[in-house]
Structure 1
Amino acid sequence: MIAPLARTLMAAELPVLDKHGLTMWAYAVLLGLDRGPARGQGVLAQEIGADKTRIIPVLDDLQQRGLIERRPDPADRRARVLALTAHGRAVRDAAQADIQAQEEKLLNRLSAADRRGLLNSLIVLSTVSREEIVGQDDGPTPP
């Protein structure tokens, strides 16, 4: 039941993201950087479940559009720290608000108790590591 629902929700997000000029991976990057700057594209890729070589064009595009910045890492001048810009934060917030409005329509179909139970269950399950579920790390997952 989860996989078809997840695919449907991602399909519903695509027009919203397109409206904000974002791809699914670009949105994942902006959400990932919400926790604070990332020490390198490899670290960020791992955090969001992306392939570090495939994320480079996404990062290049976001930087070119002024949504993220790459600056030298003070601890290692060969590395770059990735961070959201104010414009990137605004775009991310607008896209996230529109996506949450769509989610709200879906969640309104549930009673208050069912909704609370679903959200509590999702919070608990989202903290389980991929390795714990799968038993091994078999590469990146889609956002």
Structure 2
Amino acid sequence: MADTARPDLAAMIVPLGRALMAVEQPVLDAHGLTMWAYAVLLGLEESVRTQSALAQDIGADKTRIIPILDDLQEQGYIERRPDPDDRRARLLSLTPEGRRVRDSTQAAIQAREERLLDRLRPADREGFLNALQFLAALPKEELAGE
């Protein structure tokens, strides 16, 4: 029997996610980034990735992400070069300026998130963040119950 004492997870997470994205938007605007551009910068972390792998990992269509990559490259935030193992593929990496913008943007976003997290008791905060990180790291197949 379903536990009707709580709303469905999506019913709780989606409105929260939308509200968090609205809080992030002024920070992104101040740094000259779109949400997708920020996702690309975060997706590159410290590693070199192919365009296709990055698009899959951030949930973007690999053809629609090309203008975003073009813009980030034009701004000097990423580098694209041919993959020596597959000339059809392009390898992406962050430039030092891309790292700086990513880190600055993330710090400003997380400072805003702190105001929300500060509403939780320390133990609840730690548990919430641990659970969220665990669930977010699950493979998509596991989330779908496959």
Using the size of structure 1 for normalisation, the TM-score is: 0.89
Match of 2:49 among 35, 38, 44: 38
The AA in structure 1 aligned to 2:127 is: G
Structure 1 residue 11 corresponds to structure 2 residue 22: yes
Q: Which runs of 5+ in 2 are unaligned?
A: 1-11
Q: Which runs of 5+ in 1 are unaligned?
A: 137-143
Deviation at residue 75 of structure 1 after TM alignment:
1.5
Matched length: 135
Structure 1 equivalent of residue 77 of structure 2:
67
Distance in 2 of aligned mates of 1:62 and 1:109: 36
Larger radius of gyration: 2
Report 1:1-143 matches (<5 A). Answer: 1-39=12-50, 41-135=51-145
SS in 2 for 1:66: coil
Deviation at 1:124, TM superposition (A): 1.4
Which whole-Å deviations, capped at 9, do the CAs of 1:21-59 have from their partners, x for residues lacking one?
0000000000000141102x1111001111101100000
Residue matched to 2:5: none
What TM-score does the superposition give when structure 2 sets the normalisation length?
A: 0.88
Flag the structure with more relative contact order, 1 or 2, with Cα contacts below 8 A and sequence separation at least 6: 1
Q: Structure 2 counterpart of 1:5, which letter?
A: L
How far apart are 1:132 and its partner, in Å? 2.0
Q: Could you tell me how far apart the structure 1 residues matched to 2:53 and 2:138 are?
A: 19
CA distance in 2, matches of 1:134, 1:70: 33
CA RMSD, 1 decimal: 1.2
